[in-house]
Amino acid sequence: MLELTLPPISILVLHGPNLNLLGQREPGIYGSLTLPEINRLLAAAAIKLQAKVIPVQSNHEGILVDSIHEALGQYQGILINAGAYTHTSVALRDAIAAVNLPTVEVHLSNIYRREDFRHHSFIAPVAIGQISGFGVQSYLLGLQALVDYLRKDERAST
């Protein structure tokens, strides 16, 4: 059978503060998978989508901002779980707007069913979409949606 090879798509996966503690951090809310396990599932899903994911986790806002800047020219899109910075960081929002790379926002928990302070996202207005509440599936669905969006973009520009 003819295998259709698509041009590779590289996605920067950004994990914000405290996500390095997944597995032991409030498992009733965030589940029992560790961050390396989530990254492995993303890498396997990316292969099926003929894409590549490069994960970066940081507890520091400035490092996340730097990673977004450095994505320009290296990656076609960004998948981000900004953790608590989702609700506080104008700097992350501005960095995403500045690089203008298609970005999908994901959350393991459903931020709208939780405390009021989690209901506002500074990232949402600069993201192409948001997926919240499906545990690791939020990441996997987000990746699929982002790659799909980028492939459509590719087709439109050829």
Contact status: 15 vs ligand DQA (CB under 6 A): no
15 catalytic, yes or no?
A: no
Edge to edge, the sheet with strand 129-132 lists 51-57, 9-15, 77-81, 103-107, 129-132
Nearest to 58 by CA among 19, 27, 103, 114: 19
Identity of the residue, 52 or 118, whose beta carbon is nearer to ligand DQA in the bound complex: 118
Minimum distance from residue 85 beta carbon to ligand DQA (Å): 8
Residue numbers 75-134 binding ligand DQA by CB under 6 A: 81, 83-84, 86, 107-109, 111, 118
**H-helix or E-strand spanning residue 156:** helix 136-156
Minimum distance from residue 8 beta carbon to ligand DQA (Å): 27
Q: Would you name the residues annotated as active-site residues?
A: 30, 107
